[in-house]
Amino acid sequence: MEKILIHFISALILCSCNQQQDGQNSNIDLTGKINFPEEGLVLLEEYGNQEIAVIDTIEVTANGDFTHSIALEEPGFYRLNLYNKQMVNLILFQKDLQIEVDGNAADGKVVVTGSQDMEYLTEINRLVQDFQKNVGGLNQQYVEANSKGDQAEMERIRAQFQEVNEQHKELLKQKVGAMGNSLAVLQVVGNFSAEEDFEFLDQLGVLFASNPPDSKHTPNFLTYIESVRQQARNNENLQIGKVAPEITLPNPSGDVVPLSSLRGKVVLIDFWAQWCRPCRLENPNIVEAYSKFKDKGFEVYGVSLDRSRDKWLQGIEEDGLPWTHVSDLKYWQSEAAKTYNINAIPASFLLDREGKIIAKDLRGPALQIKLKEVLG
């Protein structure tokens, strides 16, 4: 689904609860029932920092019953791998677990009881699965609308995705608020953006730093949080209300056109490229907005991340982009892209007449709505 970027972290960011007593092993019994047993291995696997390692095999009776004991020095994330057909994530330490699974399908039945951490993890997994189901439906709708070139329908779906995504994050935050520093909390991290949800992630970092779980994974999580904080510091000059950093790049004729030379106008800084399909799909929306508001003081400052001057000019001509264009033709190494921390395009910043940032990444009708608000 173009331009609606949905990223799920495939490996969990790991941490642990602080119930461990130094120098003691935690002996855990896993007992359960596989409703559809078959020939093949049932594996107990551990999530490491960068990998998933097999640590044991589990014997299953002909009728699907199993009992397995494991001694752990610290809590962590594990999973049952049932014949490579169904994966069941577990948090293990000190508490015995009772498990019932189908075993024959990725979305088969799973019931795990025995610990508070697993109750939390089950609640989080349910929310994530509901969200993924909703997003899957929106993705399919978007693909169909895109194949028909139905821009209005595509914008409707984008807006609906944003609404669904925000609702999903709010539900996760509510669940996390009651979990303390349970290991289950770290399951939600991949659902949040370092830029958009900095405050929430920062609070998690404070929680785990002030009450650090005794686990080999804790330093890795805290290192991740520190990288989020560093990114926030880098983005400080790009916050709403800040004067946009200067850009001094040449136009297609080779003349340097500073961003500040457009002061007095409402300016859209548009990061794009000829090779970027989502950018090209968005260009007609910007053209329409430009034609409606240029006489009221609206200007577009297009910053291309192309590498070839010919391709850059080709994109401008094909899409009919009659505004100010600049580029150093350095692709992702563009000085402007570095200054504005651009790691995906299209990306945009709307500036008021004084050069202050008043909005970011406005798409389709959202741009015209904001321009109408600002320019009348």
- Give 376's contacts (C-beta < 8 A, 6+ positions apart): 296
pTM of the model: 0.62
DSSP SS3 for 111: strand
Least confident of 4-18, 177-191, 204-218: 4-18
C-beta separation of 194 from 228 below 8 A = yes
Tokens of 87: 């994966």
Radius of gyration of the chain measured on its C-alpha atoms: 26
pLDDT digits (tens, 9 = 90+) for 287-328: 999 999 999 999 999 999 999 999 999 999 999 999 999 999
Q: What is the largest CA-CA distance in the chain?
A: 78
Least confident of 104-113, 165-174, 177-186, 354-363: 177-186
According to DSSP, the β-strands at 65-72 and 26-34 are antiparallel
Q: Is the pLDDT of residue 16 over 80?
A: no
How far is Cα 307 from Cα 224, in angstroms, rounded to an integer? 32
pLDDT digits (tens, 9 = 90+) for 211-223: 766 666 677 788 8
pLDDT digits (tens, 9 = 90+) for 19-43: 333 445 678 999 999 999 998 889 9
C-beta separation of 161 from 135 below 8 A = yes
- Give 23's contacts (C-beta < 8 A, 6+ positions apart): none
How far is Cα 185 from Cα 120, in angstroms, rounded to an integer? 8
Tokens of 375: 């320019």
Enumerate the β-bridge partners of residue 79. Answer: 45, 89
Tokens of 353: 């007449």
Tokens of 57: 């095999």
- Kindly give the residue spans of alpha helices, DSSP state H, lying in 211-308: 218-234, 277-293
Tokens of 95: 């508490």
Domains of the chain: 1-234 (no CATH), 248-375 (3.40.30.10)
